[in-house]
Chain A
Amino acid sequence: MNANDEKWLKAQLRENLPPVSGELERDLWPRMRARLESRPHAVPWWDWALAGAAVVLLLIAPQSILLLFYQI
């Protein structure tokens, strides 16, 4: 690549790419804060129901806890 090619390439890039500003277009902190405060892994109600069902089953038959110790 000679000097002319380099000039041509620079000109093409300036023409075709949008200018890059040093400043952010918007404040990103509110979005970051909202993401931090959101609960993306909240437990759905059916999983609470399943957990309750498991507890009830273990209370009905406490001996089955042995089976759980055996399998987990």
Chain B
Amino acid sequence: MNTHPYLRAYMAGTFVPTIVVMLAVCSFAFVRYVCGVVPAFPVERFMIFPLAFVPSLWGVWNLLYVALKRRLPIGVHGTLLVVLLAPLGLTVGRLIGLYSLHANGFVSPQGAQLPYTVVVIGAAGGLIIYYLMWKYVVGFLNRMLGIA
């Protein structure tokens, strides 16, 4: 199977965020409509970045991994994506009015706060999860598709 390696790399890369965004939307729908809890942030604005940007960027990042002849270990390569995604996500969130910055942390239009300590902890957890997802899930898919 030597044809279209970049297409296969793109598709393998988009797999994880596509599944995660589906779980996220299902979770929000369950919490909102089954449990009757109204989230303290605008869900429709929140979902723009994970739906519109993240899957494509994962796909392009995996395509880049194949195009660069796999110079870095795939886990490290995937972790570097956070360096691109985090500032982009923050910028998009700010532009669409998802949050505003205050002295204590991020504040949603409904008034919910996300302290900076939580953001730092989330960033550390995110780096680890990115590393593991890329190493084991994307790496497995790349091997399955014959591009690893």
Contacts and interface: CB of A to CB of B under 8 A. Distances in A.
A66 interface: yes
A54 to B, nearest CB: 4
Main SS at interface, chain B: helix
B95 interface: no
A17 to B, nearest CB: 30
Contacts of A69: 20-21, 24, 27, 50
Contacts of A50: 128, 131-132
A47 interface: yes
Contacts of B118: 61, 63-64, 67
A41, A53, A64, A65 interface centre (most CB from chain B within 10 Å): A64
A70 B49 contact: yes
Interface residues of B, number: 35
A71 B50 CA distance: 6
Contacts, number: 77
Main SS at interface, chain A: helix
Given A57-B121, A60-B121, A64-B122, A72 B128 contact: no
B147 interface: no
B38 interface: no
A57 B124 CA distance: 8
Which 7 A/B pairs are nearest by Cβ-Cβ distance? A64-B122, A67-B122, A57-B125, A54-B128, A61-B121, A69-B24, A61-B118
